[in-house]
Amino acid sequence: MLKLARRQLFAFGIPAAFAFLAPLILVLASLAALWSMAVPDTGGDAAGGGFPFAVLDDIYVRRAISFTLMQAALSAILSTLLALPLARALASRDFFGKTAILSLFGAPFILPVIVAILGLLAVWGKTGPVHGLVTGLGYGDFSIYGLSGILLAHVFFNLPLACRILLQGWLAIPPEQWRLATQLGMGSGAIARHIEWPMLKERLPGVFAIVFLLCATSFTVVLALGGGPKATTIELAIYQAIRYDFDLQRAALLAFLQILLCAGLALVSRLIARDHDTGDSLGGAVPRGDRSSRLARSFDGAVITLALIFLALPLLAAFIRGMQGLLAYDLEISALLPATARSIAVALGSCAVMGLISLPLAQLSIHLKGKTKRLVELPGFAIMVAPPIALGAGLFILLNQHIPIDRLALPLTALLNGLQAVPFALILIGPAMGQIKRDHGRQIQQLGMSRSTAIRLVHWPLMRKPIGLSLGITAALSIGDLGVIALFGSPTAPTLPLYLYQQMGAYRMDQAYGSGLLLTAVAFAFFLLFDKGLAGRDQT
Amino acid sequence: MKALTLALLATTGMAIVASLASTPSAFAADKPTLTVYAYDSFNTEWGPGPAIKEGFEKTCDCVVEYVAPGDATETFNRLRLEGSSSKADVLLGLDSNLVADADKSGLFEPNSIAVDGLKLPVVWNSSTYVPFDWGYFAFVYDSDKVKTVPTSFEELVNAPDDLKIVIEDPRSSTPGLGLLLWVKNLYGERADEIWQKLSPRIVTVTKGWSEAYGMFLEGQADMVLSYTTSPAYHIEAENKTNYKAALFSEGHYMQVELAAVTKSSQNKALANQFLSYLIGPEAQKIIPTTNWMYPVALPDADWPASFKDLARPGKALLFDTGKVSNIRKVALDEWLGALSK
Amino acid sequence: MIRLDHLFIALDDWQMTISLEVAAGSFCALIGPSGAGKSTILNAIAGFLPHGGGQLFIDGRDMAPLAPADRPVSMLFQEHNLFNHMTVEQNVGLGVDPSLKLGKTEWLRVEEALAQVGLDGMGKRLPRALSGGQRQRASLARAILRKRPVLLLDEPFAALGPALRKGMLQLVRDLAAQNGQTIIMVTHHPDDARLAADQVALVQDGTIAQVGKADAFFANPSDALKAYLG
């Protein structure tokens, strides 16, 4: 089937080969560099202990591993458990403003992590309103630093995600089942057993796995809220080994370990997670008769209100303090503007990387059949298992001898952010491209459209929406990124999030809130520019 | 949508122009630029950075540019990461405890600045690292809030759990390293046990001094690891006398802050000139009331009043610079082990 | 004339060998159970499937080396004949120039074709604003403009009601007669075949089980046809 003419080779074959091989080569090269740094002289001396087990003798490393897993498990359990009543309440009720609430649930995905943390600090920090309430009620001395703060932030980010997936599950239950339940006079218990539990049994493992994986590799949250060695994840330990100890060998060992761990986690989650419809039709309510009592209604109302307060309050606080910061303090425009420009440049670079990898990969996957099709998932998988800090550490070690780090930081950030976005983009672009081939492939052939004509007349109009959304997500994630840039970014040429982090480090909190508001505005503006601007007017 | 697009294009353009325009080297090409890597609190509007830059630029016909990646150790690590391609001419803020590592890095150049006349509580005769201020580490507290103040390290270790402290990470910050060595100096083999006892009182471990001190001032902790000289700031700048350093009977670990010229510097003469300026009368007069540390070359009579009244620890503690490197490694592992429990 | 001579078609998990002749200007209907391979035959003629052996001639020309666009064939599918994001006239205009670079006279031809299928004045609409029957008329208009000697119909009217379907068949027949086109149509409805076809073939299990003139075909059913018609 893949007999390619010369022209097709250049138009299709070479980009596809590049998109397929580049991520794999990058990950392998990075692994090789980490290996060579972690095991400096392999010549004969085996006394170093079997790698990677030597590093496990270090009690601190062992604790970092167990803390990574423990906080991820707790975050996943909490997010999933809290999402259950919330998703049920949202599924049972239809009310004014529900769509607004559901779009608010999408906000944490675009919101720069560091800004959300500023918001959480303002609400839950020792001087914030919640702290007084909690200690006033006698619940001990709650601290936002350490495990409790990390869990708080992870739930803040993942509760909406978990809730959306579960809500889809509720809405996917056929209405006939609800009518049947009403007809048979089933109570809440019976409905839970016979209708809700079978759906949840399908979805809960997947929700848990996604949240667990996200939290096991979350960096910024732990960087900002992790309180010292007690609350250190592997990812943070890599950062600290480079920035604090200047121990590249330990960093390499940890990075290797992190990749192994992620590969294991990704494999496990592939086994338990199933593909669910990603359709975003979250409106409407299920026609159930059992939850119409006043008690049930007020319970659902309370759940939704509490969740809303929990999610909206930090955003509001970050906004208000950000406005105050922007208005009241002398902003260093000369530093803010170049930082913003750097962030934008990095974001555009990420978008280019994302596009150059995702589009040919999506195309490749629809052209292949059977078992070879699964092969195309390999680059995406490689990206998933190599978290940016670990991958960045490897690439840095590889390139550092040849190029000064100052010149590496921004391109590396753009590259890694772009790669991070590829799995998301493939989910959005792949199905759209496949559908075009299924629906219109023969038509295009029969009409004899040239490749460029087909792109102009068919592919682009039909794919600008998923492409726009992918670019929007990539740009927003990249603009808000505080991962690789924290590791290598130059203090003289920071991106906007790094600049903000420097301000936090110097405890110039008011300015940090101001920068945070600017950062959020830029991230959302670019998200909208790509998502709405490229998607254009809805024509389908 | 069109308006948004236009607005974004405009800001992007403006931002790019601004970033080009703010690259100083492109426009100040006629004057040489001296790049000084310093810890973050040094170069703040209330720190010594701006005044020293202004004073030195008057004498040197050059431009001083500060780069502040974080606290002192982080700054040093940044330089190590950049290696010989670094733009740094001077590293400011090395600590006496890091001298052995600095030597090992081979990044610094000996100089001919006379340091034997400096007023230090220890003997100093390095030809590479020039001391510019010094101080004693101490826990600072707000006497309006903390009523039972520990008078010895032992008391701190055995204080009730609700006495919360914030400390700095010894891997990134020199005060953090100071505390690490303080504990090791006092307790030796027992350091591990002491850290385990301290652990529940530690609100958080910050990356650097600025963050820790900021958190303390905002009320996130009762005591913060800082210097005996810190209260002087509140007296001089804010006229507040409620901030005090807790004096411990066992003695206090010391810090000598150092500056050095890098081997890769293209402006070595200028860099040497800067170091001389740093220990000259003008800079030494600036340092106490901006960096809030003891000056190394300022006649007692010229000391600010607040400094004269400061309580001095009965005993100064300091490891030998040659030995400290090994002690630091062991102590750090103990610290990581004890605090990660 | 269309001639399939032991044309071998291999798909993922099954294969078929087909021999069939359709006279120029005539209307041939393919009937048979679903999954028998009716549509596959059309896809092979249109060039969407690789030739695995045997021969396919249209008007004496070997089709094997020709790409779908170069074959003297227009094919109407059951659905997705139109691009939903383009207006009706743009969709039809693709029949004149697939890159849609049309001059004034070409747009006039598009209008004419639309008039011929009874869609005058609807050119500016999007396909979703049309009924199912109107959408297939628009596809027909495009086929008219493409002026290919052979028209392949892959159940394009299956979703329409009986009356509408009859009307469409009539329209197709009339247009084909006007333009001298040969038609092969796949259908589920033996009645359609009776109504419109000159020649009927029963496709079953990857081969042609029975073929003949329409009246003779139904007058003398084979066992297979009897089983199929029930």
According to the 3-state scheme, what is the secondary structure of C88-110?
Answer: HHHHHHCCCCCCCCCCHHHHHHH
Backbone φ and ψ for C147, nearest 5 degrees, come out as 55, 45
Pairwise CA distance, residues B293 & B295, whole Å:
6
* Per-residue pLDDT reduced to its tens digit, A85-118: 999 999 988 888 888 888 888 888 889 999 999 9
Quick one: C43 and C64 in the same domain? yes
pLDDT of res. A53: 57
**Local structure of B341: helix, strand or coil:** coil
Question: pLDDT band for position A399 (50/70/90)?
Answer: confident
Q: Of the candidates C116, C147, C178, which is a domain's last residue? A: C147
Quick one: C45 and C62 in the same domain? yes
Across the interface, which of A445, A450, A539 has its CB nearest the CB of C99?
Answer: A450
ipTM: 0.86
Quick one: C41 and C60 in the same domain? yes
Residue A159: Cβ-neighbour burial (10 angstroms; 0-12, 13-18, 19+): buried
Number of domains in chain C: 2
Task: Tell me if A472 sits within 8 A of A354, measured CB to CB.
Answer: no
Question: pLDDT band for position A41 (50/70/90)?
Answer: low
CB-based contacts of B103: which residues, under 8 Å, 6+ apart? B128
Mean pLDDT of A135-145: 72
pLDDT of res. B52: 94
Mean pLDDT of A124-147: 77
pLDDT of res. A43: 46
CA B297 to chain centre: 18
Pairwise CA distance, residues A155 & A83, whole Å:
10
Q: Which residues lie across from B166 on neighbouring strands?
A: B204, B224
CA C196 to chain centre: 13
Question: pLDDT band for position A488 (50/70/90)?
Answer: confident
Question: pLDDT band for position A409 (50/70/90)?
Answer: confident
Mean pLDDT of C99-116: 92
More confident residue, B21 or B14: B14
What is the DSSP secondary-structure string of A11-31? IIIHHHHHHHHHHHHHHHHHH
Pairwise CA distance, residues A343 & A494, whole Å:
8
Chains B and C touch (3+ CB pairs under 8 A): no
List of chain A residues whose C-beta atoms are within 8 Å of the C-beta of residue B226: none
Contact A230 B220 (CB under 8 A): no
Note whether B28-134+255-309 and B135-254+310-339 share their fold: yes
Please say if the pLDDT value at position A280 is more than 90. Answer: no
Pairwise CA distance, residues A11 & B174, whole Å:
57
Quick one: C173 and C187 in the same domain? yes
What distance in Å separates residue A424's CA from the closest CA in chain C? 25
Backbone φ and ψ for C219, nearest 5 degrees, come out as -70, -35
Phi-psi region of B80 (alpha: psi -120 to 50; beta: other; left: phi over 0): alpha
pLDDT of res. C36: 85
pLDDT of res. B1: 54
Instruction: Read off the DSSP letter of residue B322.
Output: T
Q: How far apart are the first and last CA of chain A?
A: 32
Q: Of the candidates C103, C118, C147, which is a domain's last residue? A: C147
Neighbours of chain A (3+ CB pairs under 8 A): B, C
On average, the pLDDT of chain B sits at 87
Number of Cβ within a 10 Å radius of residue A1: 6
> Going from the N-terminus, what domains does chain A have, and what CATH number goes with each?
1-30+329-540 (1.10.3720.10), 51-324 (1.10.3720.10)
The percentage of chain B sitting over the pLDDT mark of 90, rounded to a whole number, equals: 50
CB-based contacts of A139: which residues, under 8 Å, 6+ apart? none
CATH number at residue C199: 3.40.50.300
Mean pLDDT of B20-26: 47
Give, in order, the Cα–Cα distances in Å from B278 to each of A354, B55, B56, B326.
Answer: 50, 10, 9, 30
Q: Which CATH superfamily is domain B135-254+310-339 in?
A: Periplasmic binding protein-like II (3.40.190.10)
Question: pLDDT band for position B8 (50/70/90)?
Answer: low
Pairwise CA distance, residues B62 & C86, whole Å:
66
**Local structure of B41: helix, strand or coil:** coil
What distance in Å separates residue A160's CA from the closest CA in chain B? 28
The long-range contacts involving A441-446, CB below 8 angstroms and separated by at least 24 positions, are A442/C43, A442/C46, A442/C48, A442/C68, A442/C75, A442/C77, A443/C77, A443/C80, A443/C81, A443/C83, A445/C47, A445/C48, A445/C67, A445/C68, A445/C69, A446/C46, A446/C47, A446/C68, A446/C69, A446/C73, A446/C74, A446/C75
What distance in Å separates residue A241's CA from the closest CA in chain B? 9
Question: pLDDT band for position A537 (50/70/90)?
Answer: low
Tokens 């980010």 locate to A157
pLDDT of res. B29: 57
Show me where the domains of chain B are located: 28-134+255-309, 135-254+310-339
CATH number of B28-134+255-309: 3.40.190.10
CB-based contacts of C198: which residues, under 8 Å, 6+ apart? C23, C26, C27, C28, C213, C214
Mean pLDDT of B181-203: 92
Please say if the pLDDT value at position A279 is more than 60. Answer: no
The long-range contacts involving B186-191, CB below 8 angstroms and separated by at least 24 positions, are B186/B153, B186/B250, B186/B251, B186/B317, B191/B331, B191/B334, B191/B335
Sign of CA pseudo-dihedral B110, B112, B113, B117? positive
Across the interface, which of A369, A442, A458 has its CB nearest the CB of C83?
Answer: A458
* Per-residue pLDDT reduced to its tens digit, B136-158: 999 999 999 998 999 999 999 99
What distance in Å separates residue B97's CA from the closest CA in chain A? 14
Mean pLDDT of A413-435: 91
**Local structure of A481: helix, strand or coil:** coil
Please say if the pLDDT value at position B64 is more than 90. Answer: yes
Task: Tell me if B208 sits within 8 A of B39, measured CB to CB.
Answer: yes
pLDDT of res. B4: 58
Torsion angle defined by CA atoms of residues A260, A266, A268 and A269, in that order, rounded to the nearest 10 degrees: 160
Interface of A with C (CB under 8 A): 369, 439-440, 442-443, 445-450, 453, 456-458, 461-462, 539-540
Pairwise CA distance, residues A209 & A323, whole Å:
38
Please give the single-letter amino acid code of residue B152.
S
Question: pLDDT band for position C103 (50/70/90)?
Answer: very high
Q: Which residues lie across from B108 on neighbouring strands?
A: B262
Please say if the pLDDT value at position A540 is more than 50. Answer: no
pLDDT of res. A365: 84
Residue of A nearest to C46 (CA): A446
Please say if the pLDDT value at position A372 is more than 80. Answer: no
Q: Cis omega before residue A52 (within 30°)? A: yes
Task: Tell me if C47 sits within 8 A of C73, measured CB to CB.
Answer: yes
The encoded tokens of residue B214 equal: 């900021």
Task: Tell me if A501 sits within 8 A of A114, measured CB to CB.
Answer: yes
Quick one: C216 and C158 in the same domain? yes
Quick one: C38 and C130 in the same domain? no
The percentage of chain A sitting over the pLDDT mark of 90, rounded to a whole number, equals: 37
pTM, full prediction: 0.85
Please say if the pLDDT value at position A503 is more than 60. Answer: yes
Q: What is the span of the domain harbouring residue C50?
A: 1-72+149-230
Mean pLDDT of B297-310: 86
Residue to substitute from A150, A329, A334, A337, interface B, most B β-carbons within 10 A: A337
Please say if the pLDDT value at position A313 is more than 90. Answer: yes
Please say if the pLDDT value at position A47 is more than 50. Answer: no
Q: Any chain A CB within 8 A of the CB of C84?
A: yes
What distance in Å separates residue B266's CA from the closest CA in chain A? 16
Pairwise CA distance, residues B20 & A334, whole Å:
10
pLDDT of res. A275: 59
pLDDT of res. A273: 65
* Per-residue pLDDT reduced to its tens digit, B195-251: 999 998 998 899 889 889 988 998 888 999 999 999 998 988 888 999 999 999 999
List of chain A residues whose C-beta atoms are within 8 Å of the C-beta of residue C98: 447-450, 453
**Local structure of A145: helix, strand or coil:** coil
Please say if the pLDDT value at position B78 is more than 50. Answer: yes
pLDDT of res. B153: 94
CB-based contacts of A242: which residues, under 8 Å, 6+ apart? A248, A251, A393, A487, B77, B81
Question: pLDDT band for position A287 (50/70/90)?
Answer: confident
Quick one: C162 and C186 in the same domain? yes
What is the DSSP secondary-structure string of B228-281? TTHHHHHHHHH----EEEEP-TT-EEEEEEEEEEETT-S-HHHHHHHHHHHTSH
